[in-house]
Amino acid sequence: MNRSAGIVAVAVLALSAAACTGDGAGSGSSKSTSIVPPPSTTSSASAHAKYTALPTCREVTQRMPGLPPFRSGNEKPLVSDLLAACEFQRIPDWPRVNLKVSAWRDENGDISFPAGPGRGALKAREAYDVTSKPGADPADDGAAEDVEVGEKAKWLTPKDKGSCTLVILDANAVLVIENKPADKPEPRSQECRGPLRELAKSFYDAVRMQ
């Protein structure tokens, strides 16, 4: 009986060793039960918003020659995460040109949009659509289909009809360009909207350079 018990013990040890080293019949079973985590489908680049910094008004002035003299600027955001709002005017003459860009970060959260990938773009679209609400001033005045920058653009017209405005949505940012001519032309006229079409690309490029 002792000899038989010894033989059985040796056999058990041999089978155990084969299972651990992957040899013999146990190797196939060992390989089939291995678990490999699937590769991530989200790249690190997709977790970052397009605009993470904005130029100062001084930098905008340097990158856009031909504007009226710089008058004032605001770079302290209240409703957005980033802001550069710049006013240009040859006092007391006109025209007056206002350039503003607001951007929202993915990593900043609020009650309506928690932090996370895509949050900045959702906030920007919300801001872009504000002028579509009834009673908004200035109000939507049609798509600016001939402005080929950003994702989409539209014209705005104020109730007093003393100026015209172009708004551009691009990823997590909204760019606003306003023209206030001296003689208050019809807001849809080339005299009012023409300068905005010319400024759109240069302002867009100035913001993207950051």
| Annotated domain spans of the chain | 2-32, 49-208
Tell me the Cα Rg of the chain: 31
Pick the closest to residue 164 from 96, 103, 102, 83 (CA basis). 96
User: What pLDDT, on the 0 to 100 scale, is given for residue 133?
Assistant: 84
pLDDT: is 161 or 36 the higher one? 161
The SS3 of residue 67 is coil
Contact present, 145 and 154 (Cβ < 8 Å):
no
pLDDT: is 136 or 24 the higher one? 136
Question: Which tens digits make up the pLDDT trace of 128-181?
Answer: 999 888 888 888 999 999 999 999 999 998 888 888 999 999 999 999 999 988
pLDDT over 90, % of the chain: 54
Q: Which helix (H) or strand (E) holds 13?
A: helix 2-21
pTM: 0.75
Q: Which helix (H) or strand (E) holds 4?
A: helix 2-21
pLDDT: is 89 or 91 the higher one? 89
User: What pLDDT, on the 0 to 100 scale, is given for residue 101?
Assistant: 98
User: What pLDDT, on the 0 to 100 scale, is given for residue 29?
Assistant: 43
Tell me the mean pLDDT in the region 39-48.
43
Fold of 49-208: Protein Transport Mog1p; Chain A (3.40.1000)
Say which amino acid occupies 29. Answer: S
